[in-house]
Amino acid sequence: MAQDEAHEVVTGDGYAVGNIDALGDGGGFRKIRRALDVRALGINAIVMPAEFAGRRHYHYEQEETYFVHRGQAELELGDGSVHRLGPGGIARIDAATVRRIRNVGAGDLIYVAVGGKDGYVENDGHLLPSEETG
């Protein structure tokens, strides 16, 4: 049976659940990886106040994927292109590609950044015998 909606980080045998609101206040990084003990990839939620622009940056090795949870983001890329993403918007950026994210909305921009290297583990999900259909 489900408990009340998770707000604080709760850990158990092989899992952790929570809410980004429990990881900090105001603008800045919410360190999901550290709070939930994520080991296989980098993951953070970023809260940007209205009109805030991040710094141009790139990575040596880590590809990143961004998911916009709330607000309006403008993604400026090294080739000079600019893309606007709203709630549900996603972007994948190669490590060496220069990027900058700017909040172009009236309220907070909240997005999740996931970074990793060396790819997806293919066909790694398995059903329990009780879940298999004949």
What's the predicted TM-score (pTM) here?
0.89
Q: Are 33 and 42 in contact (CB under 8 A)?
A: yes
Hey, what amino acid is at 109?
Answer: L
Q: What is the pLDDT of residue 133?
A: 77
Classify the phi-psi angles of 14: left when phi > 0, otherwise alpha if psi is within -120 to 50, otherwise beta.
left
* Rounded-to-integer distance, Cα 107 and Cα 36, Å: 27
* Rounded-to-integer distance, Cα 50 and Cα 104, Å: 7
Q: What is the pLDDT of residue 6?
A: 79
Q: Are 110 and 52 in contact (CB under 8 A)?
A: no
List the pLDDT tens digit at each of the 134 positions of the chain: 567 787 899 999 999 999 999 999 999 999 999 999 999 999 999 999 999 999 999 999 999 999 999 999 999 999 999 999 999 999 999 999 999 999 999 999 999 999 999 888 888 888 888 888 76
**Domains, the chain, ordered by start:** 29-119 (2.60.120.10)
CA distances from 12 to 15, 32, 37, 58 (A): 5, 16, 11, 35
Spell out the residues 6+ positions from residue 17 whose beta carbon is closer than 8 angstroms to its own: 6, 9, 10, 36
